[in-house]
Amino acid sequence: MADSAMSDRETTHFGYREVDKDAKAGMVGDVFDSVATRYDLMNDLMSAGIHRLWKRFTIELSGVRSGNSVLDIAGGTGDLAEKFSQLVGDGGRVVLADINASMLRVGRDRLLDTGVQANLEFVQADAQYLPFPDDSFDCITIAFGLRNVTDKDLALRAMLRVLKPGGRLLVLEFSKPTNPLLGKAYDAYSFSILPLMGRLIARDADSYKYLAESIRMHPDQETLRGMMEEAGFSRCEYHNMTGGVVAVHRGIKA
């Protein structure tokens, strides 16, 4: 009976492991609880600072302007939200949302220390069940967060719901390198150097091993574009950066 019950449960991937679907959010939460205080430092070291260029391009693609309402999901330490806060001005609104309380706290403290504007709000929220009314935002961004969501299709539909007609979704995420040689070098870096850096700097090799595995399990560029179209987004497109190591997808709510 026990084996039968286990086989009836819905499962999903946690890195390369198959886990109970209901358990994934808590396991991902443990990862980010562990790395929250050193998250920005590790991002700079892992990408040699290039993540800032990826995010700058995402902001340019967003088309955000004065007076807009922006939702930054999995906003973490708030680097995107800070830029959007400056762009939308006093008449706009930026919501930094993250499911993880530790990451949200680090982001809020950092932005408060830098003199955050009154147009910025902080909300603990699950991307699958966004606690906002329909047609609330002109733009939604999710940077390096979608791969950690248990049900990506559910999350994409939730994002579509809270976007205004004509609103834009930008998904910035690790993807699949377009060059096989680059792919091999990237694999060697991800599974050898990255966990070592995690152990030495963040004192947590296992979390960075999971992050490397989660990247490999994330849908490739064409698959994610298809998922966005299936969720109801139109004019879906993507732009590869750094040879496809990272891609930014954009879709519009008709």
The string of pLDDT tens digits covering residues 21-63 is 887 778 777 777 666 666 666 677 677 789 999 999 999 999 9
Mean pLDDT on 119-137: 96
For residue 1, pLDDT over 60 is answered with: no
Mean pLDDT on 201-213: 77
Where does residue 180 rank: exposed (0-12), middle (13-18), buried (19+ CB within 10 A)? Answer: exposed
For residue 137, pLDDT over 70 is answered with: yes
**Residue 13: pLDDT band by 50, 70, 90 thresholds?**
confident
Residue 141 lies in a domain: yes
Residue 154 lies in a domain: yes
What backbone torsions phi and psi does residue 96 show, to the nearest 5 degrees?
-95, 115
Report pTM: 0.87
Known binding residues for S-adenosyl-L-methionine are 77, 98, 126-127
Residue 14 lies in a domain: no
Residue 38's pLDDT is 67
Residue 149's pLDDT is 94
Per DSSP, 139 falls in state E
Residue 218's pLDDT is 92
- Residues 233, 236, 241: CA angle, nearest 5 degrees: 135
Q: What percent of the chain has pLDDT over 70?
A: 90
Residue 39's pLDDT is 66
| Higher-scoring residue by pLDDT: 134, 112 | 134
Residue listed under structure tokens 């999350």 = 155
Residue 8 lies in a domain: no
What backbone torsions phi and psi does residue 243 show, to the nearest 5 degrees?
70, 25
Residue 4's pLDDT is 43
Residue 26 lies in a domain: no
Q: What percent of the chain has pLDDT over 90?
A: 59
Beta strands in 1-136 (DSSP E): 11-14, 17-20, 69-73, 93-98, 120-124
Where does residue 13 rank: exposed (0-12), middle (13-18), buried (19+ CB within 10 A)? Answer: middle
Record the tokens describing residue 92, joined without a space.
């706009």
- Across the chain, what does the average pLDDT equal? 88
What backbone torsions phi and psi does residue 210 show, to the nearest 5 degrees?
-60, -45
**Residue 2: pLDDT band by 50, 70, 90 thresholds?**
very low
- Residues 9, 10, 16: CA angle, nearest 5 degrees: 115
CB 74 within 8 A of CB 143: yes
For residue 213, pLDDT over 50 is answered with: yes
Residue 196 lies in a domain: no
Residue 37's pLDDT is 65
* Choice among 30-44, 119-133, 157-171 with the minimum mean pLDDT: 30-44
**What's the number of domains the chain is made of?**
1
CB 233 within 8 A of CB 252: yes
CB atoms near residue 70 (< 10 Å):
28
Residue 66 lies in a domain: yes
CB 247 within 8 A of CB 237: no
| CATH number for 96 | 3.40.50.150
* Beta bridge partners of residue 248, listed in sequence order: 172, 239
Q: Is 203 helix (H, G, I), strand (E, B) or coil?
A: coil
pLDDT in tens, 90-106: 999 999 999 999 889 98
Residue 3's pLDDT is 46
Residue 197 lies in a domain: no
Known binding residues are 77, 98, 126-127
Range of the domain at 236: 33-177+211-252
